[in-house]
Amino acid sequence: MFYVRPSLLFAKTWVFSLSISFQLVSDLQWLTIPIIFLSTLFLFGLIELAEQIENPFGNDAFDADLNKFCVDIWIDTKFIIDGTAEIKRFCDEKLNEIKEFEEEKSRKLNEIKN
């Protein structure tokens, strides 16, 4: 791939961190070192995060598995197409569970109030 942009961001971050430290030293004195350290750490972390987000479906260790996403979408689509009766039954069961939970919650709230 092209490494011009990440290299440029890396160089800009170093130049920024070094130049701002000379500007802040008169105001912050000894606090300049930890503040510059933390801000530089934050900026480099942001650069690394941007590189990961820029191409999430590559072959690196932290990349998302596009094949798994496609298989999951295929399974869900097939489930929706083939089993509409099963989906209705499943949704009805979940709605009944939610209704029972809400009734139990309101009953317990009434007991606490009384």
Q: What is the CA radius of gyration of the chain?
A: 28
Domain count, the chain: 2
Residues 42 and 81 in one domain: no
Shared domain for 4 and 46, answered yes or no, is yes
Pair (53, 100) in one structural domain: no
Does the pTM exceed 0.75? no
Distances in whole angstroms, Cα of residue 104 to Cα of each of 69, 71, 75, 111: 38, 39, 35, 11
pLDDT in tens, 18-32: 888 888 888 888 998
The answer on 83 and 50 residing in a single domain is no
Same-domain status, 30 and 44: yes
Q: Which domain holds residue 105?
A: 65-114
Decide if 16 contacts 43 (C-beta within 8 A).
yes
Tell whether the model's pLDDT for residue 2 goes beyond 70.
Answer: no
- Are 8 and 60 in a shared domain? yes
